[in-house]
Amino acid sequence: MNRINKVFKDKKEILSIYFTAGFPELNDTVNVIESLEKSGVDIVEIGLPYSDPLADGPTIQESSTIALKNGMTTKNLFKQLKNIRSKTNIPLVIMGYLNPIIQYGIESFCKDCQSVGIDGLIIPDLPADIYHAKYKEVFYKYRLLNMFLITPQTSDKRIRFIDKISTGFIYMVSSFSITGAVKSFQADQKKYFRRINNMNLKSPLLIGFGISNKNTYKDAINFSNGAIIGSAFINFIDKEGIGKIDRFIKKIRA
């Protein structure tokens, strides 16, 4: 069983943390993963930095810019992760954009993901129907789950299709906007969360975009299987460094 599927089977109130590979420093990637696991995080999303991250807000964009300047590349990331499975068993997801993956070669990318122990991918600009028609078989070949995003503007018909072809979780974007931390969710967002819940989808749901504190985390787990935190975590390690990661996680789950 894929580690992602297993964590949803075994645990409730999933916390997934996103960080940008190569940030704050080029060789911090493995240390961040290990620290997150020790802090009790359930899934780690490793951001592959890209020069034109359309879905990302200023915090993640800036971290990507710094990581690229530090020398982070797709090849460097796979090199850093070469022995990661001798150090951790936490589910690992790479989140990146389609263009650099195509430049690397779809099959080569998937093969290298499998070789280092990646469990799944999130590719925000890969439409579900294109994945289903062109790339599904190669993902299956290398035992990679592909997680799709939905937003408040996604039609019920589209959501049903995504749910049908999903083998991992569905990334439920909290609002139709770029990433970024907020202090609380608005009434219309909670109405959207309820609407998706009432659809009784087969796939587990994680809510992302805007989760930044205890209150937004609690809201997310009230309406889904858990939450994804990105910008708030990146802001924290930018200010506090990677040596105090456990403090951030304890505040979220207090």
Q: Please choose, from the candidates 90, 77, 100, 75, the residue with its C-alpha nearest in 3D space to the C-alpha of residue 34.
A: 90
Angle, CA 170 vertex, CA 211 and CA 221 arms, to 5°: 40
The pLDDT tens digits of the residues spanning 186-207 come to 788 888 999 999 999 999 999 9
Selected catalytic residue, list 56, 112, 163, 219: 56
Calculate mean pLDDT across residues 127-153: 95
* Residue 106: inside a domain: yes
Between 34 and 57, the higher pLDDT residue: 34
- Is a pLDDT exceeding 60 seen at residue 176? no
Report d(CA 14, CA 220) in Å as an integer. Answer: 10
Using the structure block, give the residue that is written with the tokens 């070669």.
105
Report d(CA 64, CA 58) in Å as an integer. Answer: 10
φ, ψ of residue 14 in degrees (nearest 5): -70, 135
* Residue 187: inside a domain: yes
pTM for this model (two decimals): 0.93
* Residue 8: inside a domain: no
Catalytic site residue 56? Answer: yes
* Residue 7: inside a domain: no
* Residue 140: inside a domain: yes
* Residue 1: inside a domain: no
* Residue 5: inside a domain: no
Number of domains into which the chain is organized: 1
The H-or-E segment that residue 208 falls in is: strand 205-208
Domain of 140, CATH number, reads 3.20.20.70
* Residue 4: inside a domain: no
One-letter amino acid for residue 219 of the chain: D
Cβ contact 124:55 at 8 Å: yes
Cβ contact 185:156 at 8 Å: no
Selected catalytic residue, list 42, 45, 112, 119: 45
One-letter amino acid for residue 48 of the chain: L
Question: What is the span of the domain harbouring residue 108?
Answer: 13-249
- Is a pLDDT exceeding 60 seen at residue 114? yes
Report the percent of the chain where pLDDT is more than 70: 94
